[in-house]
Amino acid sequence: MAGSDPLHGNAKPYLFLVAPWLVRADRTGEKLHVSGTMSRFPAIFLILILSLSSSAQVKPGDKENKADPSWPSHYSKGRKTFDGTGKYYMGREISYVMGHQAIRWLERSNREEEEAPSKAIAALNLKPTDVIADIGAGSGYYTFRLAPLVPKGKVVAVDIQPEMIDFLERKEKQLGLTNVEAHLGEVDDTKLKPGSINAALMVDAYHEFSHPREMMESLFKALKPGGRIILLEYRAEDPTVPIKPLHKMSVAQSRKEMEAVGLKWKSTDSKLLPWQHFMIFEKPAGAKGKKRESLEK
Ligand SMILES: C[S@@+](CC[C@H](N)C(=O)[O-])C[C@H]1O[C@@H](n2cnc3c(N)ncnc32)[C@H](O)[C@@H]1O
């Protein structure tokens, strides 16, 4: 399905703003640093344009948004803003998928300094026996840091790009690990077995799922009762977070979308990490998930 979906098919180069630099991970994965007094003007101009485009979000009921007969009714077609797909879910425009060409950006050496992933990992409170899925694992930046924490369990690293899966498999061999499972999913299905995981982590990935509802329904099924979803997204409420608007999410939007499939919100920590929200949701014991009809109301 990944290849046949026009909204997913062309994974775009990822453009990041890291003030005062403009960092673009292009087809070669190279970073372009624009610095110096003169070169700051284009970056500032771009920040302005991007913040304007974020306010261009359209709500599902708006006249501008239309149902597309080829999509399920929970998605609508609206204005395509910068780096957006023009596909809307619960009032949010879905962004393009980050291409595998940006692996070097994901693996950048200053990521700890910028995003403090070690703090996020410590806050997961994993048990050695846990089976945790890293959904939208990419190059496995998180996956390979989680693996030593679950020596009697495993990390299932799920991604839809075969290039990411190859990278994950090669790196697992290089590191001599045996508890990482690279797992190719589909845009609308994690392909995980029902009741097979204790937790799922999604770091900077959920906002680019082209089929967020189907993905979350699939993940809901894959969780054991009482299992947790840990969602890390760049803070949309904070204009100082130097990331493109469509690659950010607010707490209110995240809660709305997670709760729509029957997950229970447990906590939000927006101070733990420099740029991201750290949110935890739970699959309540005995919960069967919400029916789609009731989700629309
Ligand atoms: C911005 S990258 C983040 C990678 C990683 N989580 C990290 O923080 O280093 C997002 C990843 O999500 C993946 N992705 C997008 N849609 C997906 C889906 N429906 N299922 C699984 N992975 C998906 C992309 O292929 C990409 O590798």
| pLDDT digits (tens), the chain, 297 positions | 333 222 222 333 334 433 222 223 322 222 222 222 223 334 444 344 344 334 344 444 455 677 787 888 899 999 999 889 999 999 999 999 999 999 999 999 999 999 999 999 999 999 999 999 999 999 999 999 999 999 999 999 999 999 999 999 999 999 999 999 999 999 999 999 999 999 999 999 999 999 999 999 999 999 999 999 999 999 999 999 999 999 999 999 999 999 999 999 999 999 999 999 999 999 999 888 887 765 444
Question: What is the predicted pLDDT for the residue at 148?
Answer: 98
Question: What is the predicted pLDDT for the residue at 291?
Answer: 75
Question: What is the predicted pLDDT for the residue at 64?
Answer: 63
Atom of ligand 1 at shortest range from CA of 161: 25
Please indicate, yes or no, if residue 155 is contained in any of the structural domains: yes
The upper half-sphere exposure of residue 259, i.e. CA atoms within 13 Å in the direction of its Cβ, equals 12
- Tokens coding 42: 């284009």
User: CB burial class (10 A; 0-12, 13-18, 19+) of residue 36?
Assistant: exposed
Is the CB of residue 97 below 6 angstroms from any atom belonging to ligand 1?
Answer: yes
- Give the distance from CA 243 to its chain's centroid: 13
Closest CA to 16 of 47, 62, 48, 52: 47
Please indicate, yes or no, if residue 127 is contained in any of the structural domains: yes
Question: What is the predicted pLDDT for the residue at 70?
Answer: 82
β-pair partners for 131: 154
What's the structural domain count of the chain? 1
Residue 267 to residues 36, 123, 260, 285, Cα–Cα distance (Å) = 41, 12, 17, 17
Please indicate, yes or no, if residue 250 is contained in any of the structural domains: yes
Please indicate, yes or no, if residue 141 is contained in any of the structural domains: yes
What one-character-per-residue DSSP string does the chain give? Answer: -TTT-HHHHSPBPEEEEETTEEEEE-TT-------SHHHHHHHHHHHHHHHHHHTT---TTSTT-EE-TTS-TTEEE----TTEEEEEETTEEEEPPBPGGGHHHHT-TTHHHHH-HHHHHHTT---TT-EEEEET-TTTTTHHHHGGG-TTSEEEEEES-HHHHHHHHHHHHHHT-SSEEEEE-BTTB--PPTT-EEEEEEES-GGG-SSHHHHHHHHHHHEEEEEEEEEEEEETT-TTS-S-GGGEE-HHHHHHHHHTTT-EEEEEESSSSSSEEEEEEE--TT-----HHHHT-
Please list, residue by residue across 212-221, b when 16 or more beta carbons sit within 10 angstroms of its beta carbon and e when fewer do. bbbbbbbbbb
Q: Could you tell me if 32 and 45 are in contact, meaning their C-beta atoms sit under 8 angstroms apart? A: no
**pTM > 0.85:** no
Question: What is the predicted pLDDT for the residue at 40?
Answer: 38
Is the CB of residue 141 below 6 angstroms from any atom belonging to ligand 1?
Answer: yes
Please indicate, yes or no, if residue 71 is contained in any of the structural domains: no
Question: What is the predicted pLDDT for the residue at 273?
Answer: 98
Nearest CA residue ID for atom 14, ligand 1? 136
Is the CB of residue 155 below 6 angstroms from any atom belonging to ligand 1?
Answer: no
| Calpha distance 111→13 (Å, rounded) | 19
Please indicate, yes or no, if residue 35 is contained in any of the structural domains: no
| Calpha distance 99→14 (Å, rounded) | 7
Atom of ligand 1 at shortest range from CA of 106: 9
Q: Could you tell me if 281 and 264 are in contact, meaning their C-beta atoms sit under 8 angstroms apart? A: yes
Q: Could you tell me if 142 and 273 are in contact, meaning their C-beta atoms sit under 8 angstroms apart? A: no
Domain hosting residue 258, numbered range: 101-295
CA of 44 to the centre of ligand 1 (A): 28
Please indicate, yes or no, if residue 225 is contained in any of the structural domains: yes
- The domain that holds 117 is classified in CATH as 3.40.50.150
| Calpha distance 203→87 (Å, rounded) | 21
Query: Best substitution site from 87, 95, 160, 215 to test ligand 1's pocket, by max atoms within 8 Å of Cβ?
Result: 160
Please indicate, yes or no, if residue 50 is contained in any of the structural domains: no
